[in-house]
Amino acid sequence: MTTPASAPIKPCVPTPPRALNHIGITVPDIYAAIDWYQAVFGFSHIMGPRVLQATSSVTHETPTLFGPKFRKAYQAHLITANGIGLELFQFVDPPVKKPADNLEYWKIGYWHLCFTDPDIEGLAARIVAAGGRQRIPVYEFIPGRPYKLVYCEDPFGNIIELFSHHYAEAFSNWPQPGMAPQAILSREEFAAEMAALQPQGAGKGAGKSAARAAVKPAREAMPAKVTKPAPRSAAQRGKTKARAGK
């Protein structure tokens, strides 16, 4: 079942955080990508490449996912130091195409991977030496703090961020001590900004209806509430006793 795209919505019920399982990326050469991520990042190659075919009963889910145009692809799995999977795809039919701009950050979707290393200068140099690219200089992310970042890309054009510290350490205590005050966008401010960007005459209820449609499956999955019957009036109790006496 699919749901229409909508703005983020508040969860219906509290739920524990899930673990990130893996990330899938497309490359033009499956073995070159396996070798590169093993050599540069030390990832373990745990499966593949296997052949995905629309006509095969073993990979029968692929035409449902990729549509009627899909015929064949190669797939491999690597694993990082903290157990997150990196899934590699090389599409054969139709073949992989490199976009004219591989940093289309304004389009919906995933636009970079991020890996942690305390020596991001050294790892960035390693990426470049292995045929990748360093896109920007190394930045001190928070002045006066040890956090640093840099953006690179693999030889196939996938954007890679390198971050020097654990994600939660940098972002769960925000703003960090000593930082200048920063604007945090409230839901109300966000709604006002989005409304201001809407074209003149756009339907005001469109976003709300899409959000309602998106949240419906989650509500359907929730356990049904047990509704207690409303207390009966004295007149209703009297009628019941009268019927019982007959």
pLDDT tens track for 119-131: 999 999 999 999 9
**97, 59, 57: which is closest to 75 by C-alpha?**
59
Rounded Cα distance between 154 and 88, Å, is 13
Q: What pLDDT, in 10s, does the model give residues 159-198?
A: 999 999 988 888 887 777 777 777 677 888 888 888 888 8
Q: How far is CA 27 from the centre of its chain?
A: 19
pTM, two decimals, is: 0.69
List the strands of the sheet with 85-93, edge to edge.
Answer: 22-26, 85-93, 72-79, 44-53
pLDDT at 203 over 70: no
Q: What are the structural domains of the chain?
A: 19-97 (3.10.180.10), 99-175 (3.10.180.10)
Residue that the structure tokens 């945090």 belong to: 184
Q: What is the mean pLDDT of the chain?
A: 79
Q: Tell me the one-letter amino acid at 134.
A: Q
